[in-house]
Amino acid sequence: MGETRPTEGLVSDQNLPILPGRPKELEGPEKAMLKLSYGVHVIGSRSAAGELNAMLADWVMQVSFTPRLVAVAIENDARTLRFARETRVLSVNLLHEKDGKEIARHVVMPAEGKKIKGRSDEAAAVVHDKLAGIPFGLHDNGCPVLDAALGWFTCDVEELHVAGDHTLVIGRVTDGDVLRPGEMLIERELGWEYAG
Ligand SMILES: Cc1cc2nc3c(=O)[nH]c(=O)nc-3n(C[C@H](O)[C@H](O)[C@H](O)COP(=O)(O)O)c2cc1C
């Protein structure tokens, strides 16, 4: 008790913009959850109409060797989840410890203005192209693979399980590679938290 942080699971260090939220008391379970360690990823997706999206995500893990499966927990109202339901494919880009923060800054906000509470009708109608200015190529599955990623993999969506305010997307890994030497950017270094 006695510790405070902004609400909505998001805090910032001095190098990143402050995200909305009011200080609040942290409870024991929340403090413990905040000690969990995560890598920082960008989930690439595309819609049936060919629109692309990129989403910042911590909650990615391997869950099976054979077949090689991963689980990604995605907010129920995310554009990325809608695209994954439509096309059943995703890419997972691992951000690099050296310059991943800059990419995280570009992709942290929701693509759709309407996802942020309290926006005017005009602002709510805006769809933000988070990939603008970020060099990327398209994998054969149509999803973006970032040039500056440490590594990446693609997956076919096998199962979707609603889990509270997120949906667990179980993906079968179909391809992947490492592009650069070095290690992944981890959440602790990023300076924003997504847990509690
Ligand atoms: C550090 C950090 C980690 C995040 N991790 C996740 C995550 O694992 N799953 C998720 O659904 N949203 C996560 N988010 C929030 C999404 O990036 C955000 O809601 C996103 O804009 C939704 O994207 P979309 O609506 O454009 O698809 C995270 C945010 C931050 C700041």
Residue 188 φ then ψ, to 5°: -60, -35
Full set of structural domains in the chain with CATH: 39-186 (2.30.110.10)
11 C-alpha to ligand 1 centroid (Å): 13
Establish whether residue 107 lines the binding site of ligand 1, counting it when its CB lies within 6 angstroms of any ligand atom: no
Nearest CA to 152 out of 141, 166, 161, 163 is that of 141
Q: Write the CB contacts of 102 (distance below 8 Å, at least 6 apart in sequence).
A: none
Does the pLDDT value for residue 8 go beyond 50? no
Atom of ligand 1 nearest to the CA of 187: 1
Closest CA to ligand 1's atom 17: 56
What's the pLDDT at 22?
A: 53
Q: Is the pLDDT of residue 6 over 70?
A: no
Q: Examine the pLDDT at 185 and tell me if it is beyond 60.
A: yes
Q: What is the rounded CA–CA span in Å between residue 71 and residue 83?
A: 16
* Average pLDDT over every residue of 109-134: 89
Alpha-carbon torsion (28, 30, 31, 36), positive or negative? positive
| Percentage helix, strand, coil for the chain under 3-state DSSP, each rounded to 5 | 15, 40, 45
In the reported structure, the alpha carbon of residue 28 is separated from the centroid of ligand 1 by a whole-number distance in angstroms of 24
Q: Which pLDDT does position 123 carry in this prediction? A: 86
C-beta of residue 148 within 8 angstroms of C-beta of residue 96: yes
What are the beta bridge partners of residue 147?
none
Residue 124's pLDDT band (cuts 50, 70, 90): confident
pLDDT, one tens digit per residue, over 25-84 is 899 999 999 999 999 999 999 999 999 999 999 999 999 999 999 999 999 999 999 999
pLDDT at 17: 56
Tell me the per-residue pLDDT of 77-110, one tens digit each, with 9 for 90 and over: 999 999 999 999 999 999 999 999 999 999 999 9
Shortest-distance Cα residue to atom 14 of ligand 1: 57
Q: How far is CA 193 from the centre of its chain?
A: 12
